[in-house]
Amino acid sequence: MKTNSTTIKVDYLARVEGEGSVFIKLKNGVVADVKLKIFEPPRFFEAFLRGRKYSEVPDITARICGICPIAYQMSSVHAIESAFGATVDGSLRSLRRLIYCGEWIESHMLHVYMLHAPDFLGYDDVLQLAKDYPDIVQRGLKLKKVGNDLVALLGGREIHPVNVRVGGFYRVPDKKELQPIAERLKWARDAAIETVRWVATFTFPELDQDYEFVALRHPDEYPLNEGRLVSNKGLDIHVREYEFSFEEEHVPYSNALHSILKGRGAYFVGPLARFNLNFDKLSPLVQEIAKEANALPEIRNPFKSIIVRSLETLYACDEALRIIEQYEPPEKPFVDVTPRRSFGFGCTEAPRGILYHRYRFGPEGAIEDAKIVPPTSQNQRTIESDLRNLVSTYSSLPRSELTWKCEQAIRNYDPCISCATHFLKLEIEQE
Amino acid sequence: MTARKPRIAVFKFASCDGCQLSLLDAEDELLTVAELIDIAYFPEASRRVKKGPYDIGLVEGSITTPHDVERVREIRKVCRTLITIGACATAGGIQALRNWKDVKEFIRLVYASPEYISTLDRSMPIGSYVHVDFELRGCPINKYQLIEAINAFLWNRKPNIPTYSVCVECKLRGNVCVMVAHGTPCLGPVTQAGCGAICPSYQRGCYGCFGPMESPNSPSLSRHFAEIGQSKRDIMLAFRGFNAYAEAFRKESEAHEG
């Protein structure tokens, strides 16, 4: 029998943050090979962090990603504070949550309106979309700006903010400074509801797998900065136990490591995982709008992540307003820390999913060893398995349509390739 | 008469994506800008690809692989004007910290399977491989400076981007000097303006995102740092940051090694 072998290639994935490509091989209509290739050049962050002072770390790790610098700063400061035995609570803890809400709004709205929605409506990009739907795109841009302005207010600027430090902030706002943004967040909350209603009308390609969803879970709140690592298949560990349960593999075709759950394989992090595992912690308003949109856990179709991102944006607006309403400035903008020879662990919920940092410090607080695992490297294996399934389901589609569907499926994860590639390294053995 | 819209392309090398994101972060200006120019190649934002030549190429990121050396040379050929955006493209970025290491030793230490990786010994700015028409500073760039630079080149005029120090911006904002008042080490006196002096405005010292100003007296600042209690190593680290390989900062950090 003659073998009918074809390949689907996308040489440069568009509308993702960073540089990647995809390679799919079909034999007689059956998927033979799928490779998500990341060719973003490595930048060696974990290596050059060695020898840097603890106080410099949040500024340096922010530079891993221009889209989610707060996530890097938050995982950093939590890891450092855990190493030095410091606790940041009260108003300072709330302010951290507030700035993280700003980043979720900014990052999610960038993805929903500018990177992902054009796929569902058949446009190459948001500028084409804006020609037919100017009011909707304006709403998205305005929402994104509220998120950016919240980050800039608390952080000094929206990309690589300067105000986050170990122990808290360099400067904290007074109550009055937060009022103008609160007014805009009220508008944003309504606009986020409209966003949920809009994206819920999209047509979603079929894709459904029995994923293992992994996210933080906190007893009192929807997870941002703190919690235990849990899954829908029984994982329930402290953040410091991360490396007992997860490991990274180096594959020849990608400049980013693949993370797997030991003994179980691929897993799924990000908005869908958070939502499915923490629906009960969302505010009543978000739960109500989710019901109205018929978006209730367990959502297993990754294409529907666009609805969940919109719901999380609504939550971030709602939560930011709650924090501002209850805010009382702390007596001091930061708590003091005392460096010591130590290990520290931090894991927070970046917009794209869990972001794990582990550091080892010398006696003066200089980094001796660092490990950072970004969300996109954790989702890579799952993205490949989605592509396998998708291509099997839709193999009869014309090539260009199928290729576009594959691109869209990758964008379901809002992959940040810039992040994923900076962590090529495996565990360093100390002699 | 309808003139052809100027075509702009955005290219990326080793970087965090933050500087090109600045274009998408110009929420109030983006749709207007897009009416005046043709964003012909911008993979972070669009799957549509229009072939060159382009009137303006914006280049983000530093050169770190042999493949990227070839790529930047091809890009230069298809761009009438080439503008680098940000500290990576202009000075090699934070990843230029590798430039002081033995990269072979570095890779052996760091990689599980070094044979999968292709990388150069150094992270270098775009200008060390091809001619650059204008360099936009910052880690990240200031989005209003980006719009000003695009505008200036479209109208054949020089971009109005100041090269004085952050100190001038602090004075304009009416900030109290953090170094004089609190003894906080601050790179403001030797760093180019452009950020709006945000660090001193948030009660911390400048850490040099915009690289050296036009005539920096770094040795003098280092002497002052020593007087306010900074160790030799502290001074070395201060200059070896996001613009570590920019000449004035490189020399100053090397003067405090060991």
Q: Is the pLDDT of residue A151 over 60?
A: yes
Helices (H), chain B: 18-24, 30-36, 66-78, 87-91, 103-110, 143-154, 166-173, 178-182, 198-201, 218-227, 232-239, 247-254
Q: Which of residues 218-247 of B touch A (CB under 8 A)?
A: 234, 237, 241-242
Residues of A in contact with B236 (CB under 8 A): none
| Residue A280 belongs to some domain of the structure | yes
Test the A interface: residue of B19, B28, B39, B46 with most A CBs within 10 Å: B46
Instruction: Retrieve residue A25's tokens.
Output: 């091989």
Which one of A63, A425, A428 has the shortest CB-CB distance to B242?
A63
pLDDT at A3: 57
| Residue A65 to residue B18, Cβ atoms within 8 A | yes
Please answer yes or no on whether B117 and A42 come within 8 Å at the CB atom.
yes
Q: For residue A132, is pLDDT > 80?
A: yes
User: Which one of A40, A146, A162 makes the best mutation probe of the B interface by having the most chain B beta carbons within 10 Å?
Assistant: A162
Assess if residue A343 is contained within a domain: yes
pLDDT digits (tens, 9 = 90+) for A11-54: 666 666 667 788 888 887 788 888 887 777 778 888 889 999 99
* Residue A299, pLDDT score: 97
Q: How many domains does chain A have?
A: 1
Q: Which helix (H) or strand (E) holds A179?
A: helix A175-199
| Interval A178-227: pLDDT, tens | 999 999 999 999 999 999 999 999 999 999 899 999 999 999 999 999 99
- The residue-averaged pLDDT of A50-75 equals 96
Beta carbons of B24 and A25 less than 8 angstroms apart = no
Q: Which residues, given as ranges, of chain B have pLDDT below 70?
A: 1-3, 105-106, 108-117
Phi and psi torsions of B202, nearest 5°: -105, 25
Inter-chain touch B45–A418, beta carbons under 8 Å: no
Residue with tokens 């390989």: B245
What CATH number is given to the structural domain containing A230?
Answer: 1.10.645.10
Residue contact B47–A125, C-beta within 8 A: yes
CB contact under 8 A, A158 and B97: no
| Res. A431 pLDDT band, cuts 50 70 90 | very low
Q: How far is B48 from chain A (nearest CA, A)?
A: 6
Residue A389 lies in a domain: no
- Check: CATH 3.50.50.60 for B7-154? no
Instruction: Look at residue A424 in the predicted model and tell me its pLDDT.
Output: 26
pTM of the predicted protein model: 0.94
Of the candidates A128, A141, A160, the beta carbon closest to that of B27 is on A141
Place of tokens 């207010």: A153
pLDDT of residue A14: 65
Strands B38-41 and B54-60: unpaired
The full set of domain ranges for chain B reads 7-154, 166-254
**Nearest chain A alpha carbon to B18:** A66
On the question of pLDDT at A162 being above 70, the answer is yes
pLDDT in tens, A297-321: 999 999 999 999 999 999 999 999 9
Give DSSP secondary structure letters for B39-68: EEE-TTTBS----S-EEEEEEESBB-SHHH
Mean pLDDT over the full length of chain A: 91
C-alpha B101/C-alpha A44 separation (Å) is 12
Structural domain including A132 reads 45-241+276-299+317-373
Residue of B nearest to A165 (CA): B204
Assess B15–A contact: CB distance below 8 Å, yes or no: yes
Q: What's the pLDDT score for residue A272?
A: 98
Question: Residue B185: what pLDDT?
Answer: 98
Residue of A351, A346, A356 lying closest to A315 (CA atoms): A351
* Mutation target vs B (from A125, A145, A376; most B CBs, 10 A cutoff): A125
- Chain A, residues 247-306, CB within 8 A of chain B, namely 250-252, 255
- Please tell me the predicted confidence (pLDDT) of residue A426: 23
Question: B80: closest CA among B161, B174, B4?
Answer: B4
Nearest residue to B17 (alpha-carbon basis) of A396, A123, A107: A107
Interface contact A386, partner B, CB < 8 A: no
Closest residue in chain A to residue B46, using alpha carbons only: A125
**Could you tell me the CA-to-CA distances from A254 to A257, A406, B113 in Å, in that order?**
7, 18, 11
Which pLDDT does position B2 carry in this prediction?
52
Residue % of chain A over a pLDDT of 70: 93
Residues 395-424 of A with CB under 8 A from B: 404, 407, 416, 418, 424
Write out pLDDT tens, residues A369-422: 999 999 988 998 999 899 999 988 988 888 888 888 888 898 998 877 655 543
Residue A131's H or E segment, with its range, is helix A126-132
CB contact under 8 A, A66 and B21: yes
The pLDDT tens digits of the residues spanning A103-124 come to: 999 999 999 999 999 999 999 8
φ/ψ of residue B171, rounded to 5:
-60, -45
pLDDT in tens, B4-38: 899 999 999 999 999 999 999 999 999 988 888 99
Number of H helices, E strands in chain B: 12, 5
Q: What is the pLDDT of residue A249?
A: 80
Give the pLDDT confidence score for residue B1 in this predicted structure. 38
pLDDT tops 90 at residue A236: yes
Question: Please, are residues A379 and A410 in contact by the beta-carbon 8 Å criterion?
Answer: no
Does residue A93 belong to the interface with chain B, where contact is any CB pair within 8 Å?
no
Mean pLDDT value of segment A138-153 = 97
Tell me the three state secondary structure of residue A78: helix
Rg (CA), chain A: 21
Residue B21 forms contact with A (CB below 8 Å): yes
CB < 8 Å to A21, chain B: none
pLDDT value, residue A429: 26
pLDDT tens track for A273-282: 999 999 999 9
Let me know if residue A14 belongs to a domain. no
Q: Please determine, for residue A423, whether its predicted confidence score (pLDDT) is greater than 90.
A: no
